[in-house]
Amino acid sequence: MAASRLPRLSGRALVLPGVILMVVALAGNALANVPITTVAQDPYTNTNAYHKALVEPDTFSFGSTIVGTFQGGGRYTDGGSDDIGFATSTDNGTTWTSGELPSTTTFATPPGPWARISDPSVAYDPQDGKWLIATIAINAGVIGAAVLVSRSSDGITWDAPITVSTGASSFYDKSWIGCDTTATSPFYGNCYVEWDDAFGGDLVHMSRSTDGGLTWSSSSMPSTFASGGQIVVQPTGTVVLAISAGVLESFISTNGGVSYTGPHTISSIQVHGATGMRDGSGFESAEIDGGGTVYVAWSDCRFRSGCSADDIVFSTSSDGISWTSPAQVPFVPTTSTAEFFQPGIGVDHSTQGGTAHVGVFAYFMPTNSCTSSTCKISGVFASSTNGGATWSKIKIFGTIKQTWLANAGGYFLGDYASTSYGSNGKAYPVVADATFTGTTCVIGNITSCNEFMSAPTGGLAATGGAVPAGHVVLYTGPSPKTLGTHRTTI
């Protein structure tokens, strides 16, 4: 699937008996939970925020080390958390070590200068042997006041953060980080950070580092207004930024992040949205295979008649400029009422092209016709061993009720999720899960919530299936849910 568009499937092709049986099996309710490991919990107890409420994870893996990062507890209704947490495995997910970043907020150990912190993402620079977590620092006025990067040599012991950018007239939001991990790349070891300025209408900024995140310099970026960008780097050193501006766009750099060109259209977005949830609608999840093919996944209702609910869809590109038509990850038939949201796509970097191992985690609800007391959320994972041409599916966990979750502009698991593959070839989505404490999740009551970070015990094996990716578009109208820029999402 690296450079060519997936073949268009006719409706007639879907009536093959074997395929019908497989689709029915995937749509059923007999999917079993897999064993999961709790990899991190909220250590804080201040009563002006939700506890326990770990949300919004990102992951990255290199060798046998997997690092997950997330809002580490104390989620506030109007943005941010007490600190940023991490969960690290150095043995391909067998054991995990968790903790909180030092010197960030007044809650950290040792304390830092900031009131709150948000929007973590993680990358690895193998040239300098440094793990990097990028975050948005939030001041006492609940304004994103800086982009920070914390550094670690092992993913467990972290240094005090370095400031990438700060400015009194800016509202920093939705940072992301990526590094060049290919030893033969002319820009090996370069790292790249993106964010947007909400006070500037979500004006996008980029910065780069050539010394393991110690120092940062601004990149030249076409004037664009967007949010929620994600960065991948091809083996050639080309940087690809995928970002949401009401439509999905990409920007590329071929000179080590000195300057970027674009935008290039990935796809329009048609979104229904998950009832009651702050679900990251319009934001994408991006990954890359070993040959440089870029995968971008997002929630979209184009494969449902009347835009009645969202599927997870994906597009690919070999150069970050030209993109394939969106295809449906076939969790369910297009006649289903199920709502899928907040995807986290991962690709085994040791695989590529038509044999690439691709995995997508997502949350789903059986129907959007529900209320906060009746909506039931589960986590599911789809797997492909042929670059996304065909898929299988398993359930990971569930069921979660919305009232078990922190309410931060909607019941909240995060604006994004993430999956990474270990060197053992298994997938590790580190994602938010929740269990019932006997009451609803209430701000200030530190025992009423139990939202924690989890990962499948031992990882998820690559199990390609026979269900083809969907291509028959049934809806081309506007999104029922308003998307676009000017979103403050800390």
Q: What is the pLDDT of residues 55-72, one digit of tens each?
A: 999 999 999 999 999 999
The whole-chain average pLDDT of the chain stands at 92
pLDDT at residue 4 in the model: 30
- Per residue in 184-218, pLDDT (tens digit) is 999 999 999 999 999 999 999 999 999 999 999 99
pLDDT in tens, 113-141: 999 999 999 999 999 999 999 999 999 99
Q: Which two tokens stand for residue 38?
A: 């709790």
Give the 3-state secondary structure of residue 305: helix
- Of 40, 5, 25, the closest CA to residue 332 belongs to 25
pLDDT at 25 over 90: no
By percentage, how much of the chain surpasses pLDDT 90? 90
pTM of this structure: 0.94
Class of domain 11-468: mainly beta
What is the distance of C-alpha 3 from the center of its chain?
Answer: 24
Q: Parallel, antiparallel, or unpaired: how do β-strands 311-317 and 327-328 relate?
A: antiparallel
Average pLDDT, integer, range 446-464: 95
User: What integer pLDDT is reported at residue 2 of this predicted model?
Assistant: 33
What is the per-residue pLDDT across 262-305, written as a single tens digit (0 to 9) for each? 999 999 999 999 999 999 999 999 999 999 999 999 999 999 99
In terms of DSSP bridges, do strands 376-384 and 451-456 run parallel, antiparallel, or are they unpaired?
unpaired
Rg of the chain on CA atoms, in Å? 20
The band of 29, judged by pLDDT with boundaries at 50, 70 and 90, is very low
Give which of 167, 96, 105, 186 is closest to 140, Cα–Cα.
105
**What does the block give as tokens for 113?**
């200068």
The number of angstroms, rounded, from the C-alpha of 459 to the middle of its chain's C-alpha atoms is 18
Three-class secondary structure of residue 366 per DSSP: coil
